[in-house]
């Protein structure tokens, strides 16, 4: 019980640090036009669990570093995540009208502005990581470059964008016909890219930026891969069991769209067991580098037990 209360307090504290840093990092006039600044701020400040930046900071702390060094990467990861949600909700993709409990950006600002706000957030993410923390120390510069490469591959065509491309092609062909359903391995690969890659990048970026050893970074990467899978399984379960009001997005959409989900492949109970098994594997991996007592394991528990 204490651990749960402690975790809640920890998450609230990190969330307020992150929220303040995100607002400070958003570009504003006269640097950029007010309309695109407003659109970016609308989606970034609409809420959200801040899972990716929290993971980034928790990894930095787990390896004994100063989490402030990881804050620019943490904000960059939330910018990238927010851009992906804005673009995913567009009529050309999932065509959704509710996100983070608010009307989606294209509903309030139009499709063109939503595309631009997403483009802006993606680009600003890399500008932020390149700029901050400002240092000429060769070790810090080398870590920043490594983090930029990690985030780029998590977000790019080998990662999130690639996963979204598989998802898009799994629903309808361009000629309107239905493609063959994805098998279990394809579903796993799609999710490992679409959701897992940015979660892995988040955890690794924090550990690298704070000077984690290669063994620590490797273990955190493998544990985060389990977290990513658990996150997706739980997301699919919540799509079936959750209510739109609590989720802040439209529940039941995956089933309605005939998407290949874990409950559809394995059933609800087996899916929940699979998510718990991911947490057990992640805990073992983190134990192997003496990180079982870090916040990371508790964050894994939060991912598996979340209700939104």
Helix (H, G, I), strand (E, B) or coil at 159: coil
Q: Which is nearer to ligand GRG, 131 or 308 (CB)?
A: 308
> Is the CB of residue 233 less than 8 Å from the CB of residue 274?
yes
Considering the complex, what minimum distance in angstroms separates the CB of residue 121 from ligand GRG?
11
Considering the complex, what minimum distance in angstroms separates the CB of residue 293 from ligand GRG?
25
What residue has token string 């809420």?
47
Where on the chain is the footprint of ligand GRG (CB under 6 A)?
48-49, 51, 81, 84-85, 87-88, 100, 160-161, 164, 194-195, 232, 235
Q: Which is nearer to ligand GRG, 194 or 272 (CB)?
A: 194
DSSP summary character for residue 91: T
Considering the complex, what minimum distance in angstroms separates the CB of residue 228 from ligand GRG?
9
Q: Which is nearer to ligand GRG, 99 or 143 (CB)?
A: 99
Q: Which is nearer to ligand GRG, 71 or 114 (CB)?
A: 114
Considering the complex, what minimum distance in angstroms separates the CB of residue 239 from ligand GRG?
8
Q: Which is nearer to ligand GRG, 55 or 63 (CB)?
A: 55
Residue 53 to residue 74: CA distance in whole angstroms: 4
Considering the complex, what minimum distance in angstroms separates the CB of residue 81 from ligand GRG?
6
Closest-CA residue to 74 (of 209, 227, 189): 209
Give how far the C-alpha of residue 51 lies from the chain's centroid of Cα atoms, to the nearest Å: 6
Considering the complex, what minimum distance in angstroms separates the CB of residue 195 from ligand GRG?
4
Considering the complex, what minimum distance in angstroms separates the CB of residue 252 from ligand GRG?
12
Structure tokens at 72: 């620019």
> Is the CB of residue 125 less than 8 Å from the CB of residue 201?
no
Q: Which is nearer to ligand GRG, 51 or 57 (CB)?
A: 51
Structure tokens at 149: 């490469």
Residue 39 to residue 125: CA distance in whole angstroms: 16
Crossing angle for the helix pair 268-287 and 214-241, to the nearest 10 degrees:
160
Residue 180 to residue 160: CA distance in whole angstroms: 22
Q: Which is nearer to ligand GRG, 66 or 246 (CB)?
A: 246
Residue number with the smallest Cβ distance to ligand GRG? 48
DSSP summary character for residue 102: E
Structure tokens at 17: 């640090």
Report in angstroms the alpha-carbon separations of 64 from 67, 69, 201, 216, 265: 9, 12, 19, 11, 40
């Amino acid at each position: 019980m204490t651990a749960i209360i402690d975790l809640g307090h920890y998450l609230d504290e990190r969330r307020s640090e992150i929220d303040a840093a995100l607002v400070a990092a958003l570009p504003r006039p006269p640097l950029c036009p007010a309309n695109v600044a407003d659109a970016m701020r609308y989606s970034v400040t609409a809420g959200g669990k801040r899972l990716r930046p929290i993971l980034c900071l928790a990894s930095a702390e787990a390896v004994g570093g100063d989490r402030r060094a990881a804050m620019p990467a943490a904000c960059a990861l939330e910018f990238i995540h927010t851009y992906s949600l804005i673009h995913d909700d567009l009529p050309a993709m999932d065509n959704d009208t509710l996100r983070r409990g608010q009307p989606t950006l294209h509903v309030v600002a139009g499709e063109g502005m939503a595309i631009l706000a997403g483009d802006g957030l993606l680009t600003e993410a890399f500008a932020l990581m390149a700029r901050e923390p400002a240092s000429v120390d060769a070790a810090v510069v080398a870590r920043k470059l490594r983090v930029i490469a990690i985030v780029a591959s998590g977000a790019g065509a080998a990662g999130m964008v690639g996963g979204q491309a598989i998802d898009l092609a799994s629903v309808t062909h361009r000629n309107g016909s239905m493609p063959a359903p994805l098998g279990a391995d394809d579903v796993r690969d799609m999710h490992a890219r679409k959701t897992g890659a940015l979660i892995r990048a988040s955890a690794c970026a924090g550990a690298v930026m704070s000077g984690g050893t290669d063994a620590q970074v490797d273990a955190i990467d493998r544990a985060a891969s389990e977290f990513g899978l658990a996150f997706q399984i739980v997301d699919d379960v919540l799509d079936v069991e959750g209510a739109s009001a609590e989720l802040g997005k439209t529940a039941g959409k995956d089933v309605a769209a005939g998407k290949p989900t874990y409950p559809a492949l394995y059933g609800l109970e087996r899916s929940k067991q699979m998510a718990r098994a991911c947490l057990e594997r992640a805990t073992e991996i983190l134990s192997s580098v003496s990180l079982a007592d870090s916040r990371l394991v508790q964050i894994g528990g939060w991912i598996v037990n979340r209700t939104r």
